[in-house]
Homo-oligomer: A and B are copies of this chain.
Amino acid sequence: MALKKYVYFFGEGKREMKKLLGGKGANLSEMTNIGLPVPCGFTITTEVCNLFYDLGKRYPEGLEDQIEENLKKLEEKMGMGFGDEKNPLLVSVRSGAVFSMPGMMDTVLNLGLNDKTVAALIEKTKNERFGWDSYRRFVQMFGDVVMDVEHNKFEEALQSKKDKKNVKFDTELTAEDLRGLVEDYKKIIKEAKGRNFPQDPREQLKMSIGAVFGSWNNKRAISYRNIHDLPHNLGTAVNVQAMVFGNMGQDSGTGVAFTRNPATGEDKFYGEYLINAQGEDVVAGTRTPQHISKLEEEMPENYKQLMDIRKKLEEHYRDMQDVEFTIQEGKLYMLQTRTGKRTAAAALQIAVDMVDQGYIDKKTAVTRVEPQMLDQLLHKQLDKKAKKNAELLTKGLPASPGAALGKVVFDADTAVKEAKSENVILVRTETSPEDIQGMAVAQGILTARGGMTSHAAVVARGMGKCCVAGAEDIKVFEDKQYFEVNGSKVNKGDWVTLDGSTGEVFKGKIPVVDPEIGKNFKKFMSWVDDYKKIGVRANADTPNDAKVALNFGAEGIGLCRTEHMFFEADRIKAMRKMIVANSKEEREKALAKLLPIQKKDFMEIFKVMNDMPVTIRLLDPPLHEFLPHEDDDVREIAGELGLKFDELKATVNSLHEMNPMLGHRGCRLSITYPEILEMQVRAIFEATVELTKEGYKVKPEVMIPLVGDVKEVKVLKDQIIKIADGIMKKENLKFDYKVGTMIEVPRACVTADEIATEAEFFSFGTNDLTQMAYGFSRDDFGKFLPDYIEKGILEKDPFATLDRNGVGQLIKMGVEKGRKARENLKIGICGEHGGDPSSVEFCHMVGMDYVSCSPYRVLVARLAAAHAAIKEEEQKIY
């Protein structure tokens, strides 16, 4: 039986073999194949890594022979001998996993040095210090990484040597010192492990390969994979490569570069280098690297070579590359190439340019920009340099991206007052609907409590406003007008700066820069729309929201929350009168005052969204949210309403709920107070009629929230139809409308087949569905979320990214059962997840018709929808 191929000499593999050869190995082969100057070497496959573990950390049969074979080939190619005392071949041994895990696994350099070959190296380089320093470093690295000797011991020996010589820096040690250190190190190893540092290069190599495989499962590698959601069963490859040295004199050097500018996307070579240096020196920061353009002057030949390679790589990889190179005595070597990371602006620019330059097609261009990135393009950013020097007060959750600076205020009224002349940041323990006005005028919002989907977070994202939520270290003393954080005290009027994209809170002012939206943006988004299949609507409660959404390309409104219309100052009084009404008649009287207001709201939104569907949700929050809770406020508002304090207080108390999330809200309100529904539905349909007469095309969809049983829908739908019929008859005008439900209660998913017999559309309210499926209150969740993330129980905040495994199963059930009962059931999602790329992909996968998200997430959702469609198509093709 032919043995399996475990080892690939560079050039035997290709870039598509990433899974087998790891990213680094596959690209080293690929570069070799296309004729780039890569130091020779070979890759031991990831399969060997897995076998190594299966066999109890032993090598599979035949591996050593294959390594020996490739080593021979390497010696031949290089014209050097491994362990040769005249012309010794030195190699590096590096890990190379399928996905890059920078710094997580082990590397061994200068392997092949021993007491004899070190002399040859000195002879060859004419540099005794270089030779002994290389050997010293190798012994230390080998002892630490391969032989598992405590790292500190080598550091102590080094320190004691420096103390003895009375010097401060390693570089001040002489060749002789370093030679002595090698001996010290060898003793340390012998003492710690009871065996000698191996002089035989083949033994060194064998042990190093085992160490690299072993490092696949070291603690930090495992936790890196957990954090980045990477599988644990891929294994790592090992690359054994001939060493090249960039520190062999003024005709040597080393550098890293991007084939285009990773910050702006400009089609210009971009990078840094150092003459007479090794990779470590660039990282150490002891010398300042030069800009790559300088190389043209210093080493024109090598620079030209690099520019050719840059072109070759882009033509070959058809994407911007991130490369490492070394020049040894005037000869250029490529050590690595990989796809380069880039900013949102750069990603967009590169994608569009590469289509224009014929490198890629439009579909590929669409996949080259990550949906999340688009967010960066829309929000103000903190000036990066200024941020570095600023005083960080604390870190909360990055609840709504962007940057904001302003003077601290602690209540909505003050915010409204001060915002007329100053930028303000509204700081609250947590926000409530009564804070809306203050939030609207503030530059940014900071809360001490609440998660990514707390009231503050949701409203801020809806407004496209910067917000840092759940900064748990902060203690807000609203009455005393200051907050405390980690020992600092910030008073009303003090300046703070928020970074909503990172959750950072800074003391003082940090300059803010405007986002730059390139001219290519529109072009790119038109390509996006060519590929996406699922519709994208917006959650919008005001005509302004609707306009913003439309500008970002929304195809309708998926969620118009009618309650937000009642919080405005002139309306809340009528709303409160309605709530404190003692009889149906009184309530109807109060509602009659609200009817024209709601009607006007709807008309304005319908006008903006002409010819597009607008889903209007009936009143959802519990009524107590509209009433004051503190005694002082109760007293004041009782006065306004012409009530006694005791009367209003009694109403407030009678409406109090232990768990408002699971209380008297949603369709339960319409069922106990049919007159509220009557008013709202009448406003919707009267607005429809009036605009239809003016020539608008209105497509209202009435949405019943918090449904758990088909009978709830039946009772309310009957009432809605009756109202519609009445208006049609009276106006002698037919109009189309739909009646549907939110699916946000687990029971609604389970009984979706029944509900769909009445509902004409479903809209998954995944905020509440996640709350109820997990039993997590999003208002209280922040108390244990950190522990859950830390202990690996939750990998992500399920309110930010849809939990496919649990909540997703309920959604899938709902979609399948719903469509079974009503084939043409229109299905969408209107929770916060509608703007999250992974969640949009899930919605596409389960066959929803559309997602609906906050206006500022529409672009993200459109791109995510296109990605999902392309991904599905590709998977069908391959």
Residue contact B747 to A662, C-beta cutoff 8 Å: no
A237 CB to nearest chain B CB (Å): 30
Q: Does A636 contact B (CB under 8 A)?
A: no
A657 CB to nearest chain B CB (Å): 4
Binary contact track A646-681/B, C-beta < 8 Å → 1, others 0 = 000000000001111111101010011000000000
Binary contact track A229-262/B, C-beta < 8 Å → 1, others 0 = 0000000000000000000000000000000000
A726 surroundings in chain B (CB, below 8 A): none
Binary contact track A734-748/B, C-beta < 8 Å → 1, others 0 = 000000000011110
A656 CB to nearest chain B CB (Å): 9
A262 CB to nearest chain B CB (Å): 37
A677 CB to nearest chain B CB (Å): 13
A709 surroundings in chain B (CB, below 8 A): 793-794, 806
Q: Given the known A-B contacts A773-B750, A787-B671, are A658 and B660 also in contact in the complex, defined by CB atoms under 8 Å?
A: yes
A792 surroundings in chain B (CB, below 8 A): 711
Point out which of A664, A712, A775 has the most chain B C-beta atoms below 10 A from its C-beta.
A775
- The answer, among B708, B794, B807, B810, for a CB contact under 8 Å with A774, is B708
- The answer, among B779, B806, B807, B810, for a CB contact under 8 Å with A659, is B779
Q: Given the known A-B contacts A664-B783, A806-B708, are A747 and B768 also in contact in the complex, defined by CB atoms under 8 Å?
A: no
Q: Does A453 contact B (CB under 8 A)?
A: no
Task: Write 19 A-B pairs (CB below 8 A) sorted by A numbering.
Answer: A657-B779, A659-B779, A660-B780, A661-B662, A663-B777, A663-B783, A668-B784, A668-B788, A671-B788, A671-B791, A706-B775, A708-B773, A711-B791, A712-B793, A715-B791, A715-B793, A747-B774, A747-B807, A750-B806
A708 surroundings in chain B (CB, below 8 A): 773-776, 806
A772 surroundings in chain B (CB, below 8 A): 662, 746, 772-773, 775
Q: Given the known A-B contacts A709-B806, A806-B708, are A780 and B657 also in contact in the complex, defined by CB atoms under 8 Å?
A: yes
Q: How far is the CA of A806 from the CA of B805 in the complex (A)?
A: 20
Q: Given the known A-B contacts A783-B663, A787-B671, are A806 and B751 also in contact in the complex, defined by CB atoms under 8 Å?
A: yes
Q: Does A771 contact B (CB under 8 A)?
A: yes
A145 CB to nearest chain B CB (Å): 31
Residue contact A662 to B783, C-beta cutoff 8 Å: no
A655 CB to nearest chain B CB (Å): 8
A residues 758-803 in Cβ contact with B at 8 Å? 768, 771-777, 779-780, 783-784, 787-788, 791-794, 803
A798 CB to nearest chain B CB (Å): 9
- The answer, among B659, B664, B751, B791, for a CB contact under 8 Å with A661, is B659
Q: How far is the CA of A109 from the CA of B271 in the complex (A)?
A: 106
Q: How far is the CA of A672 from the CA of B780 in the complex (A)?
A: 14
Q: Does A809 contact B (CB under 8 A)?
A: yes
A711 surroundings in chain B (CB, below 8 A): 791-794
A440 CB to nearest chain B CB (Å): 23
Q: How far is the CA of A773 from the CA of B708 in the complex (A)?
A: 8
A779 surroundings in chain B (CB, below 8 A): 657-659
A308 CB to nearest chain B CB (Å): 52
Q: How far is the CA of A225 from the CA of B784 in the complex (A)?
A: 49
A672 surroundings in chain B (CB, below 8 A): 783-784, 787
A809 surroundings in chain B (CB, below 8 A): 750-751
Binary contact track A803-823/B, C-beta < 8 Å → 1, others 0 = 101110110000000000000
Q: How far is the CA of A787 from the CA of B744 in the complex (A)?
A: 21
Residue contact A775 to B806, C-beta cutoff 8 Å: no
Q: A658-B780, A659-B659, A663-B783 are in contact. List 12 more A-B contacts (CB 8 A).
A: A659-B661, A659-B662, A662-B776, A666-B775, A672-B787, A708-B775, A711-B794, A712-B793, A715-B791, A746-B746, A750-B809, A751-B806
A792 CB to nearest chain B CB (Å): 7
Q: How far is the CA of A708 from the CA of B803 in the complex (A)?
A: 12
A662 surroundings in chain B (CB, below 8 A): 659, 661-662, 771-772, 775-777, 780
A803 surroundings in chain B (CB, below 8 A): 747
Q: How far is the CA of A659 from the CA of B780 in the complex (A)?
A: 7
A664 surroundings in chain B (CB, below 8 A): 780, 783-784
Point out which of A750, A791, A809 has the most chain B C-beta atoms below 10 A from its C-beta.
A750
Chain B, residue nearest A746 (CB): B746
A481 CB to nearest chain B CB (Å): 18
A783 surroundings in chain B (CB, below 8 A): 657, 663-664, 672
A542 CB to nearest chain B CB (Å): 26
